[in-house]
């Protein structure tokens, strides 16, 4: 099924038909107003209502979207005419550039030259049409010019019209004015002996088409001006209008009276129903109402598309120069001569590719093995990152207090009243809140500047001036944020320092005369003596330190007993379990529970051993 349609700002007009060997058969016709949802929604609704999914679309555009001119060319071969038309159109058309689409139809050919109607349009008009059609789920097959399509319907379906007019006027062939009324516009096509002589679109005054004499007078004047423009001034003119008697009968009568008063013989008129010309069912004709005349260009496109494409201007497939036919037999001989060489080269390439395929398969297997190892490594890295995130909140507060003490101004400028330190178990790091008294605000600024670095962010909570004669008249509160990256970097630095002795390469020493190089430097056993049993190698302190780093040695506060255990042990601790003994009890705890310092030390030991 194929559909032909056009639209303006108010309406969408559509005709759907099936194509057969005997012509076309109209399946549906509609004139639908464009609602508030826009053109795309209207097209989608037409698709759903008439089951037009996946159809081929023919779109007719008016003169407002294309530039149109009658041009004459010298007699040239048909295959050279498209290039000549394009070259001449680019020079004469205002909007015809390199990106313009130019098509034409020839109207008359004689020994003196070729008459043609040339039309041009640009991507600015074609792109929205293509987007609208594709949005509706259709395939855009042709973009034609509306007045040329209406003239094609008249020329193909009413062949006896001009001959009847000639007999009526005594052999003097009149000009036929084919009129298509669209809203307040009229598309006029002048035909002489069935050939298109002139195409024009004009604006008409507003008013009731059935009773307005001003519209008829204006239309008659435009027809006369069109006759003068095409060189047929003073010729008799008959009028053919698309539509029905109920809508255009009175207007056509007034137009004939205007034209008859300005020519020698009365103006002959005729109303044509485009759907009736192609034998559409009465039900389909009634469904279009009084707007059936506006469907003439659409019916004309469907009729011309069924074998008379030369009657249409097609911007989607413009006429091009006929390409020279190539000698296929000669080409076949030229290709057949090196065929053996090509086959030989192909076999060599195939064998080479087979060898490369085998290499690819081998590399693929190796890559698969590496991918498995990579997945295991990724899992280990992910677990390590989780452990690192957990340990990022294990702040070494002794180091931080040491750093804080180094950054403190002297005691004659600052007195610390309170220090509160807390770790951040979720995001890592921690913060220290320092409260104290200072002699001036400059001391606070100096403290902040000294304390602030890439790992410490210092924020002043508040500064209050006290009503006192004491030298420390300013009270401050500073919050020092410790970044989790600092905790992780210091932890890695300690681990690296502990691993340095184990990673130091051994110094090469020349073997002694009694040492056997094959036994790793041990003295060679005497002949006849049994080798002594090897004793287990003692565990290196560095290896134990790698799994559980020793916390920095700082003096414990005098009020709290030292309960922090050192994870570093010797080989005897690794091989023999320590004797059972009662767990140490904090002197300040009466129930025998471990003190806070022991709990902190144990958790640090466990976390670093896990690391």
- The alpha carbon torsion through 269, 271, 272, 276 (nearest 10 deg) reads -140
pTM above 0.85, yes or no: no
- The token pair that represents 85 in the structure block: 């038309």
pLDDT at 384 over 60: yes
- Half-sphere exposure of residue 463, counting CA atoms within 13 Å on the CB side? 14
Rounded Cα–Cα distance for residues 398 and 605 (Å): 16
Share of the chain above pLDDT 90, in %: 23
* Spatial separation of the C-alpha atoms in residues 210 and 247, rounded to whole Å: 7
- Give the tens place of pLDDT for each residue, 152-207: 999 988 866 545 444 544 446 788 999 988 778 888 998 888 888 888 888 888 76
Which residues, at least 6 apart from 350, have a Cβ–Cβ distance to it below 8 Å? none
Pairing of strands 185-192, 195-203: antiparallel
pLDDT (0 to 100) of residue 288: 77
Q: Which has the minimum average pLDDT: 111-115, 471-475, 570-574?
A: 570-574
Residue 131 and residue 198 in contact, taking contact as beta carbons nearer than 8 Å: no
- Average confidence (pLDDT) over 62-83: 87
| pLDDT tens per residue, range 22-68 | 788 888 998 888 888 889 999 999 999 888 888 999 999 988 888 88
pLDDT at 434: 93
Q: How far apart are the C-alpha atoms of 283 and 27, rounded to whole Å?
A: 10
Q: Residue 347 contacts by C-beta under 8 Å, 6 or more apart in sequence? A: none
Query: Which residues, in sequence order, are CB contacts of 590 under 8 Å at separation 6+?
Result: none
C-alpha dist (Å) from residue 315 to 17, 100, 143, 309, 521? 22, 10, 5, 12, 94
* 252 φ/ψ angles, rounded to the nearest 5 degrees: -65, -35
Q: Identify which of 544, 58, 42, 113 has the alpha carbon closest to the alpha carbon of residue 311.
A: 58
Q: What is the pLDDT of residues 221-248, one digit of tens each?
A: 888 898 888 888 888 888 999 988 888 8
Residues 581-605: pLDDT tens digits?
344 434 333 344 333 433 333 333 3
pLDDT value at 10 more than 90: no
How do strand 2-7 and strand 11-20 relate by DSSP bridges?
Answer: antiparallel
The pLDDT score that the predictor gives to residue 357 is 93
- What span, in angstroms and rounded, lies between the C-alpha atoms of 15 and 4? 5
Confidence of residue 465 (pLDDT cuts 50, 70, 90): confident
CA-to-CA distance for 260 and 221, rounded, in angstroms? 12
Q: What would the mean pLDDT of 564-592 be, rounded to a whole number? A: 38
Contacts of 358 (CB under 8 A, 6+ apart): none
Question: Out of 172-186, 200-214, 275-289, 383-397, which region has the weakest mean confidence (pLDDT)?
Answer: 200-214
pLDDT tens by residue, 305-323: 888 888 899 999 898 876 6
Distance CA 529, CA 590 (A): 64
Q: β-strand 456-465 against 474-482: which pairing, if any? A: antiparallel
Mean pLDDT of the chain: 78
Rg of the chain over all Cα atoms, to the nearest angstrom: 50
**Residue 75: which of 118, 106, 120 has the closest Cα?**
106
Token pair of 430 as six digits: 């921690």
First vs last C-alpha separation in the chain: 74
DSSP 95-151: S--TT-EEEEEEEEE-SS-EEEEEEEE-HHHHHHHHHHHHHTT-EEEEEEEHHHHHH
H-helix or E-strand spanning residue 451: helix 441-451
Check pLDDT > 60 for residue 138: yes
% the chain with pLDDT above 70: 77
């Amino acid at each position: 099924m194929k559909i032909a349609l056009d639209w303006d700002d108010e309406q969408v007009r559509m005709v759907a038909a099936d194509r057969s060997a005997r012509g076309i058969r109209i399946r549906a016709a509609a004139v639908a107003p464009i609602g508030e949802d826009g053109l795309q929604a209207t097209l989608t609704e037409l698709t759903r209502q008439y089951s037009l999914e996946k159809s081929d679309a023919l779109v007719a555009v008016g003169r407002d979207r294309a530039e149109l001119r009658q041009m004459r060319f010298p007699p040239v071969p048909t295959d050279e005419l498209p290039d000549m038309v394009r070259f001449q159109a680019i020079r004469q058309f205002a909007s015809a550039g390199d990106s313009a689409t130019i098509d034409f139809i020839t109207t008359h050919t004689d020994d003196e030259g070729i008459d043609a109607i040339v039309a041009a349009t640009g991507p600015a008009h074609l792109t929205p049409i293509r987007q609208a059609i594709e949005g509706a789920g259709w395939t855009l097959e042709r973009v034609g010019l509306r007045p040329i399509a209406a003239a094609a319907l008249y020329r193909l379906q009413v062949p006896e019209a001009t001959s009847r007019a000639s007999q009526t006027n005594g052999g003097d062939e009149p000009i036929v004015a084919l009129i298509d009324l669209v809203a307040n516009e009229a598309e006029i096509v002048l035909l002489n002996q069935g050939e298109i002589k002139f195409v024009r679109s004009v604006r008409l005054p507003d008013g009731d088409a059935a009773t307005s004499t001003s519209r008829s007078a204006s239309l008659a004047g435009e027809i006369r001006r069109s006759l003068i423009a095409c060189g047929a001034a003073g010729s008799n003119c008959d009028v053919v209008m698309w539509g029905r008697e109920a809508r255009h009968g009175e207007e056509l009568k007034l137009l004939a009276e205007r034209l008859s008063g300005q020519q020698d013989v009365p103006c002959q008129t005729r109303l044509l129903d485009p759907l009736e010309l192609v034998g559409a069912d009465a039900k389909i004709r009634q469904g279009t109402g009084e707007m059936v005349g506006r469907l003439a260009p659409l019916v004309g496109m469907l009729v011309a598309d069924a074998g008379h494409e030369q009657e249409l201007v097609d911007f989607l497939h413009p006429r091009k120069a006929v390409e020279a036919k190539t000698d296929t037999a000669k080409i076949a001989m030229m290709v057949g001569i090196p065929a053996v060489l090509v086959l030989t080269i192909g076999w060599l390439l195939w064998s080479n590719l087979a060898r490369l395929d085998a290499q690819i398969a081998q590399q693929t297997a190796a890559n698969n093995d590496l991918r498995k190892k990579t997945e295991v490594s990724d899992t280990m890295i992910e677990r390590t990152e989780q452990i690192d995130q957990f340990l990022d909140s294990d702040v070494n507060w002794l180091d931080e207090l040491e750093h804080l003490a180094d950054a403190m101004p002297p005691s004659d400028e600052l007195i610390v009243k309170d220090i509160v330190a807390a770790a951040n178990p979720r995001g890592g790091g921690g913060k220290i809140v320092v409260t104290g008294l200072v002699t001036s605000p400059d001391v606070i600024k100096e403290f902040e500047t000294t304390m602030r670095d890439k790992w410490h962010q210092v924020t002043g909570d508040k500064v209050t001036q006290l009503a006192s004669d004491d030298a420390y008249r300013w009270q401050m509160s500073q919050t020092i944020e410790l970044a989790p990256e600092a905790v992780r970097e210091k932890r890695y630095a300690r681990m690296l320092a502990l691993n340095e002795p184990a990673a130091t390469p051994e110094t090469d020493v020349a073997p002694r005369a009694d040492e056997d190089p094959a036994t790793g430097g041990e003295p060679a056993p005497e002949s006849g003596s049994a080798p002594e049993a090897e004793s287990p190698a003692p565990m290196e302190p560095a290896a134990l330190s790698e799994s559980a780093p020793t916390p920095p040695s700082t003096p414990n506060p005098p009020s709290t007993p030292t309960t922090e255990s050192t994870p570093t042990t010797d080989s005897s601790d690794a091989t023999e379990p320590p004797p059972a003994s009662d767990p140490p009890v904090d002197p300040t705890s009466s129930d025998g529970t471990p003190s806070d310092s022991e709990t902190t030390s144990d958790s640090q030991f466990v976390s670093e051993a896990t690391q």
